[in-house]
Amino acid sequence: MQRQIAIVEDEAAIRHNYEDALRRFGYQVSGYADRASALEAFQRRLPDLVVIDVGLGDDVEGGFELCRDLRGLSR
C-alpha cells in the first residue's frame, strides 16, 4: 500500500517541488495551499505524514493551528 503524504505550503513553487520529489520516491502526495483546504481533506481521511509550513500566507500561526487540529483528529 502506497503511503500518503500531505504538503501544506502557501508558496505554489515550493509545494510543487516537494510534491514532485516525494512522488519520485513512490509516495502518493496531496498538496494544499491553506489551512482550511487541508483541514477539510484531513477530516475525510488522515494522511500518513503531513509536512506543514508554519506561516500560511496571512495566517501567520496557521501551521501551528493546523498541528493542533491534527492532534484532535488523530487517535
pLDDT at position 57: 81
Contact in structure between 10 and 21 (CB atoms under 8 Å):
no
Q: pLDDT-based confidence at 45, cuts 50/70/90?
A: very high
Q: Which residues contact 19 (CB under 8 A, 6 or more apart)?
A: 7, 29, 31
pTM: 0.90
pLDDT at position 25: 95
Task: Between 20 and 59, name the one with better pLDDT.
Answer: 20
Task: Between 60 and 34, name the one with better pLDDT.
Answer: 34
Q: Which residues contact 29 (CB under 8 A, 6 or more apart)?
A: 4, 5, 6, 7, 18, 19, 22, 23
Q: pLDDT-based confidence at 43, cuts 50/70/90?
A: very high
